[in-house]
Structure 1
Amino acid sequence: MITISPAAIQEIRRLKAKFANPEALFRLQVEPGGCSGLIYKLNFDPPTQSDRLYESNGINIVIDPSSVEHLNGLTLDYSEDLMGGAFRFHNPNALTFCGCGNSFATTA
């Protein structure tokens, strides 16, 4: 289960309005990289046959099969401060984090 906060929903809808492809859905993905070993990747893409489709507060989310285990229970938030706005990931599967907050590891 993935939860998207009202602030993140508003930002996702704002960003999606800029995309010309109406079939594109909000993609949440985990890839190798960053200081801690894994990074989050967000995009708008048409779903593939192997993707898993989720819904949270009216937002359709596609996740590739290899990312599902890293994202179960995730809460996605969005906040703004004097330095700008950014998505915030609250992931119960993450055991260690990089200082940037976007890189994480699920093993110690």
Structure 2
Amino acid sequence: MAANLRLTPAAAAELGRQAAVAGTPGQMHLELLPGDCADHVIQIRPGHLAGVAIARADGVTLHAPKSQLKLLQGLCLDYRGDLSGGGFLIRSGDGISPCACGSAFSLR
């Protein structure tokens, strides 16, 4: 594994579900984009688009661009769902300031 990104069981289950629905079983891709409320916002798409494996859990591998590995170090990816929908959330690690939206963060 190239980065120390952790997946909660809820995140791994949702990543696996989305990968299967998209026709790319076991393969998902995370990329950081410039954010509005914080420096970086996560974008998760099905497939192995490019990059290196950064996390594996419950039969799904999450990939990310190699250039973003340092930014992903120490993060925890979670998933929360309710009756109105759901979404992936960044749980903070050392030196991370998550935004209130949950999917964006800045480095301290």
Larger of the two Rg values belongs to structure: 1
TM-score interval (norm. to shorter): 0.7 to 0.9
SS in 2 for 1:11: helix
1:15 has 2:18 as partner? yes
Separation in structure 1 between the aligned mates of residue 86 and residue 27 of structure 2, nearest angstrom:
21
SS in 2 for 1:76: strand
Separation in structure 2 between the aligned mates of residue 77 and residue 27 of structure 1, nearest angstrom:
15
Over the aligned positions, Cα root-mean-square deviation in angstroms equals 2.2
Percent identity, aligned pairs only, is 27
Following superposition, the deviation at residue 44 of structure 1 comes to 1.4
Give the gaps of 5 or more residues in structure 2. Answer: none
Q: Which residue of 2 aligns with 1:70?
A: 71
Q: How does 1:1-108 map to 2 (within 5 A)?
A: 1-21=4-24, 25-48=27-50, 51-57=51-57, 58-92=59-93, 95-107=96-108
Separation in structure 2 between the aligned mates of residue 21 and residue 79 of structure 1, nearest angstrom:
22
Length-normalised TM-score, structure 2: 0.77
Q: Read off the aligned partner of 2:33 and give its amino acid letter.
A: E
Cα gap change, 1:28 to 1:91, in 2 (>3 Å): farther
